[in-house]
């Protein structure tokens, strides 16, 4: 098994990624920096 065939170790779960994208799309007036700050205010999105 090569390195390319292994699953990544630091992937974001799909459900969490979908929730984050939907929150950002609801507030489309956010730029990337403000969107990140707003996501980090929500405890579930404190992802290392």
Domain boundaries, the chain: 8-45
Length of the chain: 48
pTM score, whole prediction: 0.56
Tell me what pLDDT residue 11 has: 76
Tell me what pLDDT residue 45 has: 66
The token duo for 45 is 């999105």
Q: Three-class SS string for 4-29? A: HHCCCCCCCCHHHHHHHHHHHHHCCC
Tell me what pLDDT residue 48 has: 52
In angstroms, what CA-CA distances link 17 with 23, 25, 48? 10, 12, 14
CA 22 to chain centre: 10
């Amino acid at each position: 098994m090569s390195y390319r065939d292994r699953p990544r170790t630091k992937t974001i779960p799909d459900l969490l990624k979908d929730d984050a994208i939907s929150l950002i799309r609801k507030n489309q007036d956010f730029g990337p920096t403000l969107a990140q700050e707003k996501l980090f205010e929500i405890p579930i999105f404190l992802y290392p």
